[in-house]
Chain A
Amino acid sequence: DAGVIQSPRHEVTEMGQEVTLRCKPISGHDYLFWYRQTMMRGLELLIYFNNNVPIDDSGMPEDRFSAKMPNASFSTLKIQPSEPRDSAVYFCASSLAPGYNEQFFGPGTRLTVL
């Protein structure tokens, strides 16, 4: 298996633009997680899905952020409109089961909002 795939790897955009980050989880994994990593706040869970259904989105910072999982092999995280404070590395991870199984992380998308 190729592991968790994220695209793009790098994204540079201007304030106010819409940004869409994409994730393909490992086949057969039924949990998908979106994280954000910054120097100031560390690694934060934004939202996670179980069988394509959002379970906990309490970490989503505000209404500008939205996430979808239309099927078991694809998820998106959208920011509209983007702001400079959204600059961060965004990770997607997937796992077979909750709580105690390993989460497999993608390589991340480095987002820079100018």
Chain B
Amino acid sequence: AQSVTQLDSQVPVFEEAPVELRCNYSSSVSVYLFWYVQYPNQGLQLLLKYLSGSTLVKGINGFEAEFNKSQTSFHLRKPSVHISDTAEYFCAVTQYNQGGKLIFGQGTELSVKP
């Protein structure tokens, strides 16, 4: 069975500082990995995804993530955050041939302060 662990439930950071949101997964087979963002009172939207190939994936809004197979991690980073990045971030995993059945982590609340 798959699982996803987001290591930090809350991450406070000052504007223009770098940030890293951590995600570890467990699976006995190869997986696809995703980061979604949820702004207050909205649904989720895709930030980026890893399918195969280059382990460094770039997404929207200046975010990027690095897939590390040996450490089973998929950490999300941004070199300089803005107030508008304040939101909840979810890491998710699905196996090949799982019909898009996503398993989500518990979420990390990113709070960017001026």
Q: Which chain A residues numbered 88 to 114 have a C-beta less than 8 Å away from chain B? A: 91, 93, 95, 97-108
B interface residues, Cβ below 8 angstroms from A: 32, 41-46, 49, 51, 90, 94-107
- Smallest CB–CB gap between B7 and chain A, Å? 15
Contact B107 A50 (CB under 8 A): no
Interface of A is mostly: strand
Which chain A residue has the least Cβ–Cβ distance from B104? A43
- Smallest CB–CB gap between B34 and chain A, Å? 8
Which chain A residue has the least Cβ–Cβ distance from B95? A99
Q: Contact partner of A103 among B95, B100, B105, CB < 8 A?
A: B100
Residues of A within 8 A of B95 (CB): 99
Q: When each residue 1-34 of chain A gets 1 if its CB lies under 8 Å from chain B and 0 otherwise, what string results?
A: 0001000000000000000000000000001010
- Smallest CB–CB gap between A97 and chain B, Å? 8
Q: Contact partner of B100 among A4, A91, A101, CB < 8 A?
A: A101
Give the interface size class of chain A.
Answer: 20 to 34
Q: Which chain A residues numbered 62 to 86 have a C-beta less than 8 Å away from chain B? A: none
Known: A48-B99, A55-B99. A107 touches B94 (CB 8 A): no
Q: How far is the CA of A31 from the CA of B1 in the complex (A)?
A: 22
Known: A42-B104, A43-B107. A98 touches B99 (CB 8 A): yes
Known: A93-B43, A107-B43. A99 touches B96 (CB 8 A): yes
Contact B101 A45 (CB under 8 A): yes
- Smallest CB–CB gap between B98 and chain A, Å? 6
Which chain B residue has the least Cβ–Cβ distance from A92? B43
Instruction: Please give me the 7 A-B residue pairs with the lowest Cβ-Cβ distance, nearest first.
Output: A105-B43, A98-B100, A98-B99, A43-B104, A102-B46, A105-B44, A42-B106
Known: A43-B107, A100-B49. A50 touches B99 (CB 8 A): yes
A–B complex contacts, Cβ < 8 Å, 5 sampled: A33-B102, A48-B101, A55-B99, A93-B43, A100-B32
Known: A42-B107, A99-B97, A99-B99. A106 touches B90 (CB 8 A): no
